[in-house]
Amino acid sequence: MEKYYSDIESYDWDLSPSIPDKRLVEKLIDDVEFRNLHVYDIENENDYNVFSEKLTKYLDPLHKFDLADKKIITEENFEEVFEYWNGIFGPSVKNGFKTSKYFVCDIQQGRTHLSREEGKAYFDFGNGEVRVKKILMKDYQFFWELYEKVTSSDTIRGILSKIDRLTDEDMRRFHGEFFTPIRFANKALEYIERTIGKEWWKSGEYRIWDMASGTGNLEYYLPNESYKYLYLSTLYQTEVEHCEKLFPSATVFQYDYLNDDVGNVFLENNIGFGITWKLPEKLRKDLANPKLKWIILINPPFATSQTAGTSGESKQDVSNTVVRKVMHQQNLGEVSRELFAQFIFRIKKEFKSKDAHFGLFSKIKHLNSNNDQKFRDDVFQFEYKRGFIFSSLTFSGTRGNFPVGFLIWNLSKSIKIENQNIVVDIFNDEVDKIGHKMITSENRDLFLSKWVDRPRANIKFPPVGSAITLKTDNKDRRDRIAKGFLASFMCKGNDFQNQNFTALLSAPYVSAGALSVTPKNFEKSMVVHAVRRIPKATWINPRSISYPKRGTFARVCKRLHGLEFVQQFKPNRGLERCRI
């Protein structure tokens, strides 16, 4: 079956074993070798005994596998090989050196010499330095029956550039796992290769810039030979020093992307008398080179000032940047309070007219939230290429369970988000693909809350804060009902994360999202109530926009109001394309 394992282009190997690629299943069914396999019937005593004996044999860790080809150790898989090696030999070699140093020595051809009689291994580190360690020969022999020794000096150089991360666990957990989990950072690099081509760095045409690199988790799995085309900038000098060790030939520098050189970038034609730059000259020359292509790879910070203006106490200074001032001048509204939007705003200006792909780790709310409509209209109009989402809980210290996306955009093509078919892959915590999701972007004028008529409320009535509690001490009491009042409909927000804020009450509810149900809007109110309550809220859809099929709404309406209303309702585009 090796011919299938080696074919990474024809089949989707990201899918979990429980939902394998249908094309692969069909090929296997038609394969002669597969059809000739013996299927053991474990309900048959003889078959069960034979199967049990073979299973016991193959589960024996000392069983010698008959492999035609040994596994190759590469710069991409050495970490998992090390974990396996360290689990077997780590306790035997710990003393004075990190186990990773012994590992790198051992995987190189001719650097470890064995004395089987003594049960010892001689690790030759070069320059006359040799360490002798006692090891179990049968374990050592078993391991090297599975793997091939490394002979490529390029592979060893690539592994050496990253080897410190293997045993510097405190630094890795504190600085790395809190940020982008490296297993998803690795998946992001795969998606970039699928978009612009395998081994894009070999042509020398591409440059990659991470403007919020932190400790370099996004670039962790990049090969050593790509580092010379890599730019990493971060706020903190300690992170600069860390990345300089990990990416020795990359250009690493301390830089505040939302404050440094902003005036220069937004100057027309970037010219002016006496302009000084903090941006490295090498990077500025590359940015000015029209022949170069760019990859922007970034997981920007997601802090948000809690005040729409310039006053307030909660996080009031977190987004007070030079870029925000420019966004205010262009009347971009509340979204200018969000740091990730500020990064995108400058990136669009910095890479205008350049051949650039933008790989962005972020929440997905900027694609469909109410407050980001102007941002979508005026700034975020890029061509979607491909992407995936995963749970926010994979980030250490995250509160809430919502989708984090990695989506790749072509900055050189301007297309409205609402006019694109944005479908992403869904990965679980083990990076198994478990499905697909359509991220629907719709203009906020068509949101479900806008479809329901909201009659003017001018009759005073005691407000409630729950089903049985009066709420009269609020500054914003909401103590008014409309003429013909039947109930108060609590329907906060337009998305599934507010699903539990959906209820019918006998008095006005103290919430900006509540409305008076009257005979005129009764039918629509009941439909909205059903639509908000029936779908199950999950981490995948907290801000989802869906395109419910007419049949789904027809069944809801028929159950509530009868066939006559269905006929009136079906052609209404406001319900066909609504946010729920």
Residue 307: band (very low, low, confident or very high) from pLDDT cuts 50, 70, 90: very low
Q: Which of 46-50, 149-153, 411-415, 445-449 has the lowest mean pLDDT?
A: 445-449
pLDDT at residue 332 greater than cutoff 60: yes
Give, as one character, the DSSP assignment of residue 389.
E
Backbone phi, then psi, for 447, in 5-degree steps?
A: -65, 155
Task: Specify the long-range contacts of residues 57-64, CB closer than 8 Å, at least 24 apart.
Answer: 61/142, 62/138, 62/142, 64/142, 64/145
pLDDT score for 172 = 41
Q: What is the pLDDT of residue 540?
A: 85
The stretches of 197-292 forming alpha helices (DSSP H) are: 237-246, 262-265, 281-288
Rounded Cα gap, residues 535 and 558, in angstroms: 18
151-206 pLDDT tens trace: 888 888 778 766 665 554 444 433 333 467 778 999 999 999 999 999 999 999 99
Highest mean pLDDT among 23-32, 101-110, 250-259, 358-367: 250-259
Q: Do 501 and 493 meet the contact criterion of CB atoms below 8 Å apart? A: yes
Phi, psi of 359 (to 5 degrees): -100, 110
Give yes or no for a contact between 242 and 215, defined as CB atoms under 8 angstroms apart.
yes
> Phi, psi at residue 239, to the nearest 5°?
-70, -35
Average pLDDT over residues 372-389: 94
Q: Residue 100: helix, strand or coil by DSSP?
A: helix
Give the DSSP letter of residue 172.
I
Model confidence band, residue 70 (pLDDT cutoffs 50, 70, 90): confident
Q: What percent of the chain has pLDDT over 70?
A: 80
Look at residue 504 and give its three-state secondary structure: strand
Of the spans 89-93, 414-418, 529-533, 539-543, which averages the highest pLDDT? Answer: 414-418
Of 215, 278, 212, 210, the closest CA to residue 245 belongs to 215
Rounded CA gap, 283 and 411, in Å? 19
Residue 573's pLDDT is: 35
Is the alpha carbon torsion for 391, 392, 395, 400 positive or negative? negative
Dihedral of CA atoms 199, 200, 205, 208 in degrees, nearest 10, equals: -120
Q: Three-state DSSP class for 386?
A: strand
**List of domains in the chain:** 2-55 (no CATH), 71-167 (no CATH), 169-441 (3.40.50.150), 445-576 (no CATH)
**Contact yes or no for 580/547 (Cβ under 8 A):** no
What's the whole-number average pLDDT of the chain? 81
Say whether pLDDT at 566 is over 50: no
Q: How far is it, in rounded angstroms, from Cα 369 to Cα 414? A: 20
Element (H, E) at 390: strand 382-391
What pLDDT is stored for residue 567 in this prediction?
30
Q: For helices 339-350 and 322-329, give the axis angle rounded to 10 degrees.
A: 80
Q: What is the pTM of this model?
A: 0.69
Where does the pLDDT of residue 388 fall: very low under 50, low under 70, confident under 90, or very high at 90 and above?
A: very high
Smallest Cα–Cα separation from 231: which of 212, 204, 256? 212
d(CA 254, CA 233): 6
Q: Which residues on adjacent β-strands are paired with residue 343?
A: none
